[in-house]
Amino acid sequence: MEELNKTYSPREIESKWYKIWEDSKYFAGKMEEGKESYSIVIPPPNVTGILHMGHILDNSIQDTLIRYKRMCGYNTLWVPGCDHAGIATQNKVERMLAEQNLTKEDLGREKFLEETWKWKEKYGGIITSQLRKIGASLDWDRERFTMDEGLSKAVRKIFVDLYNDGLIYQGEYMVNWCPRCGTALADDEVEHAEQDGHLWHLKYPVKDSDEYIIIATSRPETMLADVAVAVHPEDVRYKHLVGKKLILPIVGREIPVIADEYVDIEFGTGALKITPAHDPNDFNLGKKYDLPIINMLTADAKISDEFPEYAGMDRFEARKAIVEKLKENGTLIKIENLHHNVGHCYRCDTVIEPRVSKQWFVKMEPLAKKALEVVRNEEIKIIPKKMEKIYFNWLENIRDWCISRQLWWGHRIPAWYGPDNHMFVAMSEEEAFEQAKKHYGKDVALTQEEDVLDTWFSSALWPFSTMGWPEKTKELETFYPTSTLVTGADIIFFWVARMIMFGLYEMKEIPFKNVFFHGIVRDDLGRKMSKSLGNSPDPINLIEEFGADAIRFSMLYNTSQGQDVYFSEKLLEMGRNFANKIWNMARFVIMNLDGFDITKVNKADLKFELVDEWIFSRMNETAKSMHENLDKFQLDDAAKAIYEFLRGDFCDWYVELAKVRLYNNEASEQQSKTTAQYVLWTVLDQGLKMLHPFMPFITEEIWQKIKVSGNTIMLEKFPATDSSMIKPEVVKSFEYIKEVISSLRNIKAEMGISPAKEVKVVIKTSDENELKTLKDNYIFITKLAKIEDMKYGKDVEKPDQSGFRVAGNSEVYMILTGLLNLDVEIKKITDQIEKVQKDLDKVNAKLANEKFVSKAPEHILEREKRIQKEYQDKLDKLTENLKNLQ
């Protein structure tokens, strides 16, 4: 049997195995008859994206699930792909052109798109190569891109269907406008952030009167476009002014005072300036009272030419100039500090400007009704369940979705206009020409809509467009609905809800059965990771340092369902240490299987002892736990189960106990040695298979050294649970052995005795099972606990000068005579007792103080009580040790 290298080198192993797996097509989605199917579509990363810790977590979860189901015998498919990322990609290419002193307008639309496709081919998809580094077992032959030919056809098809069903419409409405990106954004693409600002109080004089109304505004520059001032009809301060005219400061325009119940009497001055072109609520009031719409900003948020004094100024520059003017003419009364929420573009962080423009919208309410129903009746299960409330709240209060974007890169809206602006929505230009010919009775020239669709529109089709829809494909038949969607909670509205709505609309079926939301990866201070904070490590550098297996396992082990992950590089040390432990253990086992052939072993010739039955029982308990936890998406509990089994039960106990039999070369003990080898091989084989979904590389490398047949561990069967092998009574007996050995080790540690020092031990117990266990496992206990002589029985006498512990129903004594300088040890323990007593007295006094107890928060009280118990336990132990020494 070929040995493992002395040192574990993840870099060498990981690069080697991924190439073999991919070249061998082991990740390919199978569609074998008679098998259950399990499929996942990857949340498509932006084509501009690079790997970050959120991707590591998200894709490690998906890969663990897909590898587990693959080993359980399912037809599995994990679909890879990228999103064209309309705004982000166009921004990248525009920046590239700017370095050449060019704009997209210099190139024209067609040439610009050519350059964008070139950029995509050259730089796009870096993240897909990086996903290979973490071992993601994606079916790369089925990789999709949201603007590839098949997906583009799917986008046009659903657009036409929605339009023909009256669910897509066009109109002039208030939208969120990003001046930097030059496009409209949907409500959920606006990120709100708390920031400091000001509230300016301004006098709006009443025409032909000495009276005025005070208006408070956080955006004084928008007063250029004011068309009215609104007050509440019951507000006695302003009742007599309703219907009168005000003179708009600076501009001089006359504007009416209107009354509407929308105005809150208690808020501010109780009077609102109405600017329909620049505020969504004002827009609605403007429509209600048929007020004019005056747009004072250009698309890039500069003051328009209608206001020559400020024309061409940036909105914030104009704000300063206007405030100065208001000061000069006495209109500005006071300025207050204001802490408020301000909307920013989710792509470039520019402050959003509300803007009236002609856009395309999807009617969401009819689609949302069905999407609510399938979650309520649990056709789709949301995990963790608490996320349902957020999902329901959004869908119950949903607004129509603005799907048009003023970009060039993206799916161009399939609408064409005739000479009289009559619109034709069609799957292709040829089809639009046919519609136009029927409409006009002759051939006419058509102009296609300039806008493209929101990137999330094409992403909403991802579960079925990636499988070939609108064609009827074998993939759709086999793998749709998909089984599980794994994603972050931050895109529940952007993506998850819309996929459900579009899947139900077009496929008449749910797009997935389960949605597993994982938490956000934060730094150890709880901050969301970002480039600006400099707290986001480069995962590729971490893979180089720690290995992909170590990172995957650490992240999954520490990710509780629905909780955020607090990441630090120290977290990864656990995974690396575990990988090294597995490697060294496997190396030891393989070295001690020399001359052993698993295929020639007759189990009837083996003699299983308590320790063998115990490790088999624990192995089957672990397999049972892993199946249950992975099926419930409790990946952290599954990771903990295999960690505790391999690192604790197998490495720390069974392998150490096996050495007693492996190193005994007497002919009479050959049966015991062969039995130990059989158990070592079997548990290593089964343990590697259970660990494989979490740590694919190291498990493959080790398994290849011990395999009997097969090409790859990933296509082996995941260990099933043999309930007949789970023996609680055996586990109880072995736990007693562990407790005895641990007790003796602890006494040595506390007394400062070398762990290698052999000692004399007395164990007193009247428990028949414990006595039998001690007798049957005498050699194991004495070897592992380094015992020179062990007496046990019901009537053995307690020795003088001994360390004492209780294990099960046994009194365990370690004879200390001759091992210690008693005077020195007694002095040392007495000093410790005095110190601990002082610390305990302080805590007792604090908890006896009624004033403290009545005022302290609950968590402080709990902390103090916990400290009190720790000191008391320590004092009791020290007192017992002193008693035994004396």
Reference 68, options 626, 644, 710, 578; nearest CA is 626
Segment among 13-27, 563-577, 608-622 with least mean pLDDT: 563-577
Please give the pLDDT value at position 367. 97
Average pLDDT over residues 602-627: 96
- Tens of pLDDT along 724-758? 999 999 999 999 999 999 999 998 888 888 999 99
Contact predicate 215/269, CB 8 Å: yes
Residue 771 pLDDT? 96
Q: Per-residue pLDDT tens for 369-380?
A: 999 999 999 999
Name which of 239, 230, 202 is nearest 218 in CA terms: 202
- For residue 259, what pLDDT is reported? 95
Give CA–CA dist 859/869, Å, rounded. 15
Concatenating the DSSP letter of every residue in 464-519 gives: HHTTTTTS--HHHHHH-SEEEEEEEGGGIIIIIHHHHHHIIIIISS-SEEEEEEE-
Six token digits for residue 76:
């599995």
Using alpha carbons, select from 391, 394, 420, 415 the residue that is nearest to residue 403.
415
pLDDT tens for 798-848 read: 888 888 888 989 999 999 888 776 777 788 778 888 988 999 999 999 899
Round to whole Å and give the CA distance between 410 and 103.
Answer: 18
Q: What is the pLDDT of residue 668?
A: 66
Which class for 1: exposed (0-12), middle (13-18), buried (19 or more C-beta within 10 A)? middle
- List residues bridging with 417 in a β-sheet: 423, 447
Q: What percent of the chain has pLDDT over 70?
A: 99
* 239 assigned binding-site residue: no
Model confidence at 531, in pLDDT bands (50, 70, 90)?
low
Which are the contacts of 760, defined by CB distance < 8 A and separation ≥ 6?
Answer: 787, 788, 789, 790, 814, 815
| Contact between residue 647 and residue 618 where contact means Cβ atoms under 8 Å apart | no
Beta-carbon count within 10 A of 77 CB = 28
pLDDT greater than 90 at residue 612: yes
Asked if 656 contacts 786 with a C-beta cutoff of 8 angstroms, the reply is no
**Does residue 66 surpass a pLDDT of 90?**
yes
**Residue 686 in contact with residue 719, Cβ under 8 Å?**
yes
HSE, CB side, 13 Å, CA atoms: give it for residue 618.
Answer: 29
* Gap between the Cα atoms of 500 and 375, Å rounded: 10
The one-letter amino acid at 754: S
List beta partners, residue 377. Answer: none
481-509 average pLDDT score: 95
CA distances from 35 to 27, 393, 480 (A): 17, 38, 14
The pLDDT tens digits for 299-349 are 899 999 999 999 999 999 999 999 999 999 999 999 999 888 888 987 788
Tell me the mean pLDDT in the region 277-306: 92
Above 90 in pLDDT, residue 226? yes
Task: Report residue 16 as tokens.
Answer: 């080697």
pLDDT over threshold 70, residue 587: yes
pLDDT at 876 over 90: no
**Which is it for strands 423-425 and 810-815: parallel, antiparallel or unpaired?**
unpaired
The C-alpha atoms of residue 353 and residue 343 are separated, in whole angstroms, by: 8
Domains within the chain, CATH numbers bracketed: 183-354 (3.90.740.10), 568-726 (1.10.730.10), 755-885 (no CATH)
Across the range 174-183, mean pLDDT stands at 87
Average pLDDT rounded to a whole number, residues 442-468: 96
pTM: 0.83
The phi and psi torsions of 275 (rounded to 5 degrees) equal -130, 85
Q: Is residue 883 over pLDDT 90?
A: no
d(CA 762, CA 796): 7
Q: Encode pLDDT of 411-434 as tens digits.
A: 999 999 999 999 999 999 999 999
Confidence at residue 828, expressed as pLDDT on a 0 to 100 scale: 77
Most confident of 598-602, 703-707, 780-784, 826-830: 703-707
Structure tokens at 84: 């064209």
Distance from C-alpha of 630 to C-alpha of 634, rounded to nearest angstrom: 6
Give the C-alpha separation, 26 to 189, whole Å: 39
Q: For residues 172 and 657, which has the higher predicted lDDT (pLDDT)?
A: 657
Q: Check whether 795 has a pLDDT greater than 80.
A: yes
What average pLDDT is seen over the chain?
93
> Is the C-alpha dihedral spanning 753, 759, 765, 768 positive or negative?
positive
pLDDT at 532: 62
Strands laid side by side in the 423-425 sheet: 423-425, 415-417, 447-448
